[in-house]
Chain A
């Protein structure tokens, strides 16, 4: 008799336990958002900066700048160059990166004119020199940013050396299309050796620190 009542008691406890778990699962399902924001969490040792070892001398190329003049990479030698790739109808990533470039330019203060800032368009069909110029005005980066545009083929070819790729998304009914492209920034030294890759989304303050160290000769 005593044994039987223990069994009943255990059985009751089991039911209560299962019910509690079930209620908890339902509660979790009800309260967990279906969409959670993605946070970029690189492994703790990686601060977003990749040093290119050994530095790689980059090939020369010719594109067209925002003033509709031909421009060669070698025209910019003598100063380090900070390069990013993008397109002017990009809603989020490219303006974000160009905003960072503006912040970096401002933060470098006395050294700001000792470095070239370059935006290379991956969307030459739409990004004419005029479009680049209007876009730079709009984003208040016109005073320091060098724009470069050309045929998608030529940009694809030069981009390969930087590990840059881009894919045109399907156009919608009105012909509007997005471009999925490699984000981030690339630093070349004054001799046009590629020395740094800055990961997209990393803290801009770390990029500023790194470039300041470069100017101080610590790199």
Chain B
């Protein structure tokens, strides 16, 4: 009788262990990270701008956007707008932007944005610029973004 009980416990534990192992070691397939709706704010030379986009992670593992390369600004970093006591400020996400499995993150005004520092040329509305996004799984995405004074959503 006693042995049966112990066996039951051990079997249940084994099932749980197997399940968690399956979760952590799911084989990577060809599903991918995609970026849509990319746009960049107009800016003056030596001013700052921001890029906004939507990232969807359809891979089987969480990924982190670790770096952004552009040729039209001195530096590009993921920032978050934080408002405290009506004082607005930017904070860099030191560890990058993490996108969970199956998750979609929108970088949008008043939230996350890619801060483009010290813009090297005037960014005029209607023009297009390119950004290269690098993720911690080694994946690199080259995207085109339209320069736009996006209309504020009044909904």
Residues of A within 8 A of B (CB): 4-5, 8-9, 12, 15-16, 19-20, 23, 26-27, 30-31, 33-35, 37-38, 40, 88-93, 95-96, 99-100, 102-103, 107, 131, 134-135, 138-140, 163, 165, 169, 172, 174, 176, 178, 180-184, 199-201, 203-205, 208
**Can you pick out 21 interface pairs between chain A and chain B where the beta carbons lie within 8 Å of each other?**
A8-B6, A12-B9, A33-B103, A88-B44, A89-B44, A91-B79, A91-B116, A92-B109, A96-B109, A102-B149, A135-B47, A138-B122, A139-B149, A163-B86, A174-B74, A174-B118, A178-B90, A183-B87, A183-B88, A199-B86, A203-B155
Question: Do residues B154 and A91 form an inter-chain contact, with CB atoms below 8 A?
Answer: no
Residue B115 at the A interface, CB < 8 A?
yes
Question: Do residues A180 and B87 form an inter-chain contact, with CB atoms below 8 A?
Answer: yes
Residue B146 at the A interface, CB < 8 A?
no
Question: Do residues A5 and B2 form an inter-chain contact, with CB atoms below 8 A?
Answer: yes
Question: Do residues B82 and A93 form an inter-chain contact, with CB atoms below 8 A?
Answer: no
Q: Given B110, B112, B122, which contacts A201 in the complex, CB threshold below 8 Å?
A: B110
A12 to B95, alpha carbons, bound, how many Å? Answer: 42
Residue B13 at the A interface, CB < 8 A?
yes
A172 cross-chain contacts in B, Cβ below 8 A: 75, 117
Residue B50 at the A interface, CB < 8 A?
yes
A190 to B67, alpha carbons, bound, how many Å? Answer: 50
Q: Of all chain B residues, which has the CB nearest A12? A: B9
Q: Given B5, B44, B113, which contacts A9 in the complex, CB threshold below 8 Å?
A: B5
A93 cross-chain contacts in B, Cβ below 8 A: 81, 88, 110
Question: Do residues A140 and B152 form an inter-chain contact, with CB atoms below 8 A?
Answer: no
Closest Cβ of chain B to A213, distance in Å, is: 17
Residue B93 at the A interface, CB < 8 A?
yes
Question: Do residues B111 and A38 form an inter-chain contact, with CB atoms below 8 A?
Answer: yes
Question: Do residues B87 and A181 form an inter-chain contact, with CB atoms below 8 A?
Answer: yes
Question: Do residues B151 and A5 form an inter-chain contact, with CB atoms below 8 A?
Answer: no
Q: Given A4, A12, A103, A200, which contacts B86 in the complex, CB threshold below 8 Å?
A: A200
- Closest 9 A/B residue pairs (Cβ): A183-B88, A180-B89, A12-B9, A91-B50, A89-B47, A91-B48, A138-B42, A96-B109, A93-B88
B86 cross-chain contacts in A, Cβ below 8 A: 163, 182-184, 199-200
A203 to B23, alpha carbons, bound, how many Å? Answer: 41
Q: Of all chain B residues, which has the CB nearest A39? A: B111
Question: Do residues B13 and A135 form an inter-chain contact, with CB atoms below 8 A?
Answer: no
A26 cross-chain contacts in B, Cβ below 8 A: 20
Question: Do residues A15 and B9 form an inter-chain contact, with CB atoms below 8 A?
Answer: yes
Q: Given B1, B16, B74, B103, which contacts A5 in the complex, CB threshold below 8 Å?
A: B1
Q: Given A40, A91, A100, A107, which contacts B113 in the complex, CB threshold below 8 Å?
A: A91
A201 to B109, alpha carbons, bound, how many Å? Answer: 9
